[in-house]
Amino acid sequence: MSEIYDCIIIGGGASGMMASIFSAKNGYKTLVLEHNEKLGKKLYITGKGRCNLTNNSSIENHLENIVTNSKFMYTALYSFTPKMVMEFFENSGLKLKTERANRVFPFSDKSSDVINTLINQIYNYKVNYKLNCNISKVEKINDLFHIYDTNNEKYTTYRLIVATGGVSYSGTGATKIGYEIAKQFGHNIIKPKSALCPIILKEHTVALNGLSLKNVNLTIILNNGKEFSEFGEMLFTYSSISGPIALELSSKINKYNVNNAIARIDFKPALTIEELDLKFQREFKTFAKKDLRTYIKTLLPNKFCEYFFVRTGIKNIKLADLTRENRLHIINLLKKFDFSIKSLDNINVGIVTSGGVDVKEINSKTCESKLVKNLYFIGEVLDVDALTGGYNLQIAWSTAYLAGNNLKG
Ligand SMILES: Cc1cc2nc3c(=O)[nH]c(=O)nc-3n(C[C@H](O)[C@H](O)[C@H](O)COP(=O)(O)OP(=O)(O)OC[C@H]3O[C@@H](n4cnc5c(N)ncnc54)[C@H](O)[C@@H]3O)c2cc1C
């Protein structure tokens, strides 16, 4: 008979590694099963290789930045707070720094240092782990979970923590096994959707590919009239909008039908239509001999000018010859430049997955299944997701802490 572990964790990503440390620290003989060739493969690419590991702000702020099921995260966040996460890493020898918008990074700017810190603790607490181990099946017979990999090797445990993450970025090891295990034990799965992903447009934007717009307001107007807005920076790709504010909005609209919804850019959010009109009247007089195409270059980034000019539908006449109607039309376009949305980008390119194991059936104080004793779900496999800023990793750390510290028996 194979060795029986006190606790087995499927998935050696952010949440799985953290849970294993607390499980072992509490005296449980712990094994992590990871199908990649190394631990923490996704962590390596987080924060553009720098790993924004939490947000140095209040719990209230974390809760506000959780888009789906923030209430579920209440106990987890108060049990292992952002401050405690920072202390955990600093006490483990990793120097941290807090940057703009309270984003916390390793001082070295290297995500590999975050991974190595976790691995050092894994060694300290004598956690066992097995790499290249792709789990494909779980059975529960009496009090024991039997876990099988694709080579039909069996691992046995009294307590099972599922930490298999979401399904986006499959190159980092994402599989659906977490959802399959949950379903097998009677859990409901909320349909996984892309979150923090580009928004695909119907218009061709090849000419705008690579253009970054700063200090604009982006509003998504859904077919049901609901509106979501963000101010900041966005980016055009050849067929979509991306960049911080578009990514954040994608997470807010992914539960709705977005086909034919409108993505509206306000290029001059600091000025009202009336203020712009006064400015234009003044400038149209001063630069009466300038043509419209040249004037537009004073209003917008170069790469957008021709696109904007074509959209005005006005001939390239002198400013002096523009009618009042023309002027108001240009102002209106500056404040409300609309694109039509086709869809959100593929789930595989979403930074996180929205959807997953329905939290109604998970005890929010322990992360244990309410349906099956000694079965736990943590991290992104749960139907919880947040905006960018270190909030998603905080979800992974806090839920891992709950499971690792609430193992029973
Ligand atoms: C490009 C990118 C950048 C990001 N940047 C940030 C950031 O800076 N800050 C932030 O807060 N969040 C960031 N995130 C999100 C964050 O990385 C995730 O929310 C977090 O890693 C989730 O942790 P997890 O443990 O639930 O899942 P993961 O870290 O994905 O770990 C799951 C593990 O389970 C393993 N696994 C899956 N299936 C099996 C199987 N069948 N058998 C064995 N093992 C299996 C996987 O190989 C993986 O190692 C980023 C995500 C991406 C894609």
Element at 213 (helix H, strand E): strand 212-221
Separation of CA 107 and ligand 1 centre (Å): 22
Q: Where are the beta strands (DSSP E) in 245-386?
A: 262-266, 337-344, 352-357, 375-377, 385-386
Q: 335 and 355: one domain?
A: no
Tokens (6 digits) for 144: 């024991």
- pLDDT tens for 280-334 read 999 999 999 999 999 999 999 999 999 999 999 999 999 999 999 999 999 999 9
pLDDT over 70 at 168, yes or no: yes
- pLDDT tens for 202-227 read 999 999 999 999 999 999 999 999 99
- Residue closest via CA to ligand 1's atom 37 equals 164
pLDDT over 80 at 126, yes or no: yes
Q: Which amino acid is at 171?
A: G
Please answer whether residues 234 and 212 qualify as being in contact, where contact means their C-beta atoms are separated by less than 8 angstroms.
yes
Please answer whether residues 273 and 367 qualify as being in contact, where contact means their C-beta atoms are separated by less than 8 angstroms.
no
- Residue closest via CA to ligand 1's atom 30 equals 165
Q: 232 and 247: one domain?
A: yes
Q: How many CB atoms lie within 10 A of CB 292?
A: 18
Q: Express the helix, strand and coil content of the chain in percent, nearest 5 each.
A: 40, 25, 35
Report the pLDDT value the prediction gives residue 171, as an integer from 0 to 100. Answer: 86
Q: 190 and 239: one domain?
A: no
CATH number for the domain harbouring residue 153: 3.50.50.60
Best CA proximity match to 124, nearest among 28, 33, 21, 30: 21
Please answer whether residues 341 and 263 qualify as being in contact, where contact means their C-beta atoms are separated by less than 8 angstroms.
yes
What CA–CA distance (Å, rounded) separates 337 from 114? Answer: 42
Q: What is the mean pLDDT of the chain?
A: 97
Average pLDDT over residues 51-70: 98
Q: Counting atoms of ligand 1 from 1, which one is nearest the CA of 39?
A: 49
Separation of CA 14 and ligand 1 centre (Å): 6
Full-model pTM: 0.96
Instruction: Kindly give the pairing relationship between strand 103-106 and strand 54-55.
Output: antiparallel
Q: Which amino acid is at 183?
A: K
Q: How far is it between the farthest Cα atoms of the chain?
A: 90
pLDDT over 80 at 2, yes or no: no
Q: 260 and 301: one domain?
A: yes
Choose one of 345, 364, 379: the last residue of a domain: 345
Q: Where are the beta strands (DSSP E) in 90-142?
A: 96-98, 103-106, 128-130, 135-141
Choose one of 307, 329, 345: the last residue of a domain: 345
Q: Counting atoms of ligand 1 from 1, which one is nearest the CA of 48?
A: 3
Q: 86 and 189: one domain?
A: yes
pLDDT over 90 at 409, yes or no: no
Among 21, 85, 351, 354, the mutation site with the greatest number of ligand 1 atoms within 8 A of its Cβ is 351
Q: Which amino acid is at 212?
A: S
SS3 call for 330: helix
Q: Counting atoms of ligand 1 from 1, which one is nearest the CA of 11?
A: 34
Q: 190 and 206: one domain?
A: no
- pLDDT tens for 72-91 read 999 999 999 999 999 999 99
Q: 188 and 337: one domain?
A: no
Average pLDDT over residues 167-172: 90
Backbone φ/ψ region at 158: left (φ over 0), alpha (ψ -120 to 50), beta: alpha
What angle do helix axes 82-91 and 391-405 make, rounded to 10 degrees? 80
Report the pLDDT value the prediction gives residue 205, as an integer from 0 to 100. Answer: 93
Instruction: Give alpha helix (H) positions in 162-209.
Output: 177-184
What CA–CA distance (Å, rounded) separates 386 from 203? Answer: 29
Among 9, 10, 42, the mutation site with the greatest number of ligand 1 atoms within 8 A of its Cβ is 42
Separation of CA 100 and ligand 1 centre (Å): 24
Radius of gyration (C-alpha) of the chain in whole angstroms: 25
- Residue closest via CA to ligand 1's atom 8 equals 47
Report the pLDDT value the prediction gives residue 170, as an integer from 0 to 100. Answer: 85
Average pLDDT over residues 20-37: 98
- Residue closest via CA to ligand 1's atom 3 equals 46
Choose one of 345, 374, 390: the last residue of a domain: 345
Q: 290 and 329: one domain?
A: yes
Query: Cβ contacts of residue 68 below 8 Å, gap of 6+?
Result: 354, 355, 383, 384, 385
Separation of CA 343 and ligand 1 centre (Å): 24
Q: 11 and 153: one domain?
A: yes
Separation of CA 13 and ligand 1 centre (Å): 6
Ligand 1 binding pocket, CB closer than 6 Å = 10-16, 33-36, 41-43, 45-47, 51-52, 133-135, 163-165, 169, 173-175, 177, 351-352, 379-380, 390-393, 396
- Residue closest via CA to ligand 1's atom 14 equals 46
* Residue-range definition of the domain harbouring residue 322: 198-345
Report the pLDDT value the prediction gives residue 173, as an integer from 0 to 100. Answer: 85
Report the pLDDT value the prediction gives residue 385, as an integer from 0 to 100. Answer: 98
Q: 94 and 216: one domain?
A: no
Q: 251 and 204: one domain?
A: yes
Report the pLDDT value the prediction gives residue 28, as an integer from 0 to 100. Answer: 98
Average pLDDT over residues 162-190: 95
- Residue closest via CA to ligand 1's atom 41 equals 135
Report the pLDDT value the prediction gives residue 1, as an integer from 0 to 100. Answer: 58
Q: 26 and 162: one domain?
A: yes
Query: Cβ contacts of residue 256 below 8 Å, gap of 6+?
Result: 222, 223, 224, 226
pLDDT over 80 at 100, yes or no: yes
What CA–CA distance (Å, rounded) separates 262 from 223? Answer: 8
Please answer whether residues 8 and 147 qualify as being in contact, where contact means their C-beta atoms are separated by less than 8 angstroms.
yes
Domain count, the chain: 2
- Residue closest via CA to ligand 1's atom 50 equals 46
SS3 call for 367: coil
The strand pairing partners of 263, in sequence order, are 220, 339
Among 97, 393, 398, 401, the mutation site with the greatest number of ligand 1 atoms within 8 A of its Cβ is 393
